[in-house]
Amino acid sequence: MTDKAERLSWHSGFCGAMELEFLKYKGLLDFNREFPLSKEPLRVDLLMIKKQKDIVIDIDIGRLFRTYNIIEYKSPKDGLTIDDYIKTVGYAYLYKGLGATVDAVPLSELTATIVRDTEPTELFKKIKSEGGSIEEKYPGVYYITGVVAIPTQFILTSSLSKDFHTCLRVLSNKAGKEDIEHFIRMASEFTEPIDKQNADAVMNISINANKEVYNKIREENPFMCQALRELFKDEIQEEIQTAVHEAETRATDKSRVTDIKNLMKKLGLDAKAAMEALSISAADQRRYLAML
């Protein structure tokens, strides 16, 4: 997998995890992935908009949120510097400045968030050296003040509560066995297609990044193994159908090539004439010619 493809996969998993984290407020929040801030190719990872201003979000990672919330996610391989922090805040200001009308996005209704699996020690040192303050408001949730005008926070997913933030905690290349099993149990109970789709996005990334842990879970826990199969039954079925189709295609190809060879031998035809006699399309003729 290329670095770009891997990055997109991590971000897809993150967006799915965030929707699941705020499942309690489903229908009350808009999640806009890769939201374009302008006509130029400038996008934020996630724009979360409260559909009703009076919604009170009682989740530790969302208590800072106002109406318009710019959220940037950093995968385990991404760096995080003071410039990355300022760029995220800049996205928020740009989103406001490019509103449809003057002050369509009030400054008082805007926040910025950065999410990452590991603590950005150097970034925190730099913020403090610039006169800013960092307070761990809740486990894994740090409020940053004294640097910019709008409220900003950093979410350290590995330090979030195990009881309430499994979706984000398993989105790591160091996910713990307990977190993974908790997520599998939770995801296996989803019935809504969008929830299952988001769970699949998270699970795909988590499995690829923690293969040894998942293999151990499969070996030790039959229930978890069954739950995983149930989660991915649609994908498994699709893979089976693809494999069957490919097998049928290979069998058909082999039979067709035999027919072509027989005509060439019995009637003394060249390959093109034999294939035309068998009503083989021009596109398939090129493929079969390579097999002769």
200 assigned to some structural domain: no
Q: Is the same domain home to 33 and 168?
A: yes
Domain range for 118: 3-174
pLDDT-derived band at 204 (thresholds 50, 70, 90) equals confident
Query: Does residue 193 fall inside a structural domain?
Result: no
Residue 275 placed within a domain:
yes
| Whether residue 241 sits in one domain with residue 160 | no
In a shared domain, residues 48 and 132? yes
Q: What percent of the chain has pLDDT over 90?
A: 52
What b/e sequence results for 223-245 when a residue is b if at least 16 CB atoms lie within 10 Å of its CB, and e otherwise? ebeebbeebbeeeeeeeeeeeee
Domain match, 169 and 266 both:
no
Long-range CB pairs of 231-234 (<8 Å, 24+ gap) are: 231/184, 231/187, 231/188, 231/196, 231/199, 231/200, 231/203, 232/200, 232/203
Give tens-digit pLDDT for 48-102: 999 988 888 999 999 999 999 999 999 988 989 999 999 999 999 999 998 889 9
The confidence score (pLDDT) of residue 272 equals 84
Last residue of a domain, one of 174, 202, 223: 174
pLDDT at residue 260 greater than cutoff 90: no
End residue of a domain, out of 150, 174, 198 = 174
163 and 248 inside one domain = no
Q: What pTM was estimated for this model as a whole? A: 0.73
CATH of the domain at 75: 3.90.1570
